[in-house]
Structure 1
């Protein structure tokens, strides 16, 4: 089951010809990840401040299908693509209406920041929630 993150393209997101500058897609995938964890009931701000847990980025990719422009309404659908012991991959699919705009992923590690950062096993209560949002 996908979690939707929607927004409107701002002028500052675009280049000189009003096409979205590509690094913004990576920023939006990161924002969609934060929305995803909020939807799971575990906002990333609380994970970090209370549990000293974060999910640093290990890898990311985005394939662009068609451009976005100033004031386009966008929906990013985020689902779990893979779950491993300490690492998980989220897929992010961008739409303008029914039009597929871009597809990407972010690979992240479940990491403790108590002392030196160290990846550790994703807890069962989080794993169950990730599985519930796994891509079919």
Structure 2
């Protein structure tokens, strides 16, 4: 089974933090529906894969945020606009970036493009509330806020 492969950033080479992460995914047979196209909900899974890889590229992980800092970023809104069908064995680039943020909210943006042609397959966004382990809203710790602000500014 092919897993995600994080590509190098398309951000400015002078920027400390990248503006966009690209993660390459090859469509598996199990991700398709009876019509032979990728089942629509899988796009949201790919958004998550891209988001996790973007955080890694920024220098930390969801696991670190949760275990070390009691900081969870829970999805409160998710949207996807489908532009073209995605088929079994297609290679898809998941382009993920931070759109904007506040102390208790983070907005990510996504593009799914066909590798090789650059055809836009889907675009979307997710909004996340910053919460503690009990899912009570909290302020994003400053160390993450600083990195996120820099990544947004470099976009």
Same fold? TM cut 0.5: yes
* Residue number in structure 1 paired with 2:12: none
* Residue number in structure 1 paired with 2:126: 106
Note the alpha carbon deviations across 1:52-89, whole angstroms, 9 max, x for none. Answer: 22111010000000010001111111111121120010
Give the Cα–Cα distance (whole angstroms) in 1 for the partners of residues 143 and 69 of structure 2: 14
Q: Tell me, what secondary structure is at the counterpart of 2:38? A: coil
How large is the Cα RMSD of the aligned pairs?
Answer: 1.4
Higher relative contact order (CA 8 A, sep 6+): 1
Given candidates 46, 64, 67, the residue that maps to 1:46 is 64
Give the Cα–Cα distance (whole angstroms) in 2 for the partners of residues 39 and 79 of structure 1: 11
Give the Cα–Cα distance (whole angstroms) in 1 for the partners of residues 46 and 151 of structure 2: 19
* Residue number in structure 1 paired with 2:3: none
Note the alpha carbon deviations across 1:4-27, whole angstroms, 9 max, x for none. Answer: 121100000001122000000011
* TM-score, scaled to structure 2: 0.81
Give the Cα–Cα distance (whole angstroms) in 2 for the partners of residues 121 and 127 of structure 1: 9
Q: Runs of 5+ in structure 2 lacking a partner?
A: 1-18
Give the Cα–Cα distance (whole angstroms) in 1 for the partners of residues 143 and 26 of structure 2: 33
Given candidates 11, 19, 24, the residue that maps to 2:37 is 19
Report whether the alignment pairs 1:81 with 2:99: yes
Deviation at 1:95, TM superposition (A): 0.6
After TM superposition, which residue ranges in structure 1, 4 or more long, deviate above 3 angstroms? none
* TM-score, scaled to structure 1: 0.91
Higher strand share: 1
